[in-house]
């Protein structure tokens, strides 16, 4: 019985490969530079995207951070928000509130307000697909 189940699984995977159906999970991509970071999660139809930016070039000036959340034809609804850490990234809390981007078949971008992000603070932007069962939370690197 075990060999029959294994054979059925191999046949299903082979059929997926022949039919062009992906059986692999799509990994998110992160990027970071001076004063910004982003995360992108592709879907079969498009992607979800979050970015965090400083409003100044360094944290030595009175700095603020804001998040940009984009739902680019992903096929799913998503929520996005800006988080802050004051303990070096050990704990995070939401400062912006949670914004819903419920336009899965369009390209819709939202931006949070600016929140203080001076010395001793870290900020990151996060999003989560809400109409995709078991979807992970995707966050940028901390800046």
Question: Could you give the CA distance from residue 42 to residue 72 in angstroms, rounded to a whole number?
Answer: 9
In the predicted model, is pLDDT for residue 16 greater than 60? no
Mean pLDDT, residues 56-85 taken together: 91
In the predicted model, is pLDDT for residue 129 greater than 80? yes
What is the predicted pLDDT for the residue at 131?
Answer: 84
Closest-CA residue to 37 (of 126, 121, 128, 120)? 126
In the predicted model, is pLDDT for residue 64 greater than 70? yes
- Annotate the chain with three-state secondary structure: CHHHHHHHHHHHHHHHHHHCCCCCCCCCEEEEECCEEEEEEECCCCEEEEEEEECCCCCCCCCEEEEEEEEECCCCCEEEEEEEECCCCCCCEECCCCEEECCCCCEEEEECCCEECCCCCEEEEEEEECCCCCCCEEECCCC
- Both structure tokens of 2: 């075990």
All domains in the chain, ordered by first residue: 25-139 (2.60.40)
In the predicted model, is pLDDT for residue 15 greater than 50? no
Reported as a pLDDT band with limits 50, 70 and 90, residue 17 is: very low
Closest-CA residue to 94 (of 136, 49, 52, 131)? 52
- Size of the chain, expressed as the number of residues it contains: 143
To the nearest whole number, what is the mean pLDDT of the chain? Answer: 81
Question: Could you give the CA distance from residue 126 to residue 141 in angstroms, rounded to a whole number?
Answer: 10
Reported as a pLDDT band with limits 50, 70 and 90, residue 18 is: very low
Q: What is the pTM of this model?
A: 0.78
């Amino acid at each position: 019985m075990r060999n029959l189940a294994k054979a059925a699984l191999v046949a299903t995977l082979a059929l997926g490969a022949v039919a062009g159906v992906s059986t692999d999970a799509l990994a998110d991509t992160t990027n970071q530079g001076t004063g910004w970071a982003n995360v992108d999660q592709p879907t079969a139809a498009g992607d979800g995207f979050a970015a965090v930016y400083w409003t100044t070039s360094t944290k030595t000036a009175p700095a603020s951070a804001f998040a940009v959340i984009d739902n680019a034809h992903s096929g799913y609804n998503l929520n996005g928000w800006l988080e802050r850490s004051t303990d070096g990234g050990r704990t995070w809390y939401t400062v912006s509130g949670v914004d819903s981007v419920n336009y899965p078949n369009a390209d819709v971008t939202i931006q949070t307000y600016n929140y203080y992000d001076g010395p001793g603070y870290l900020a990151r932007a996060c999003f989560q697909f809400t109409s995709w069962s078991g979807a992970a939370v995707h966050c940028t690197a901390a800046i």
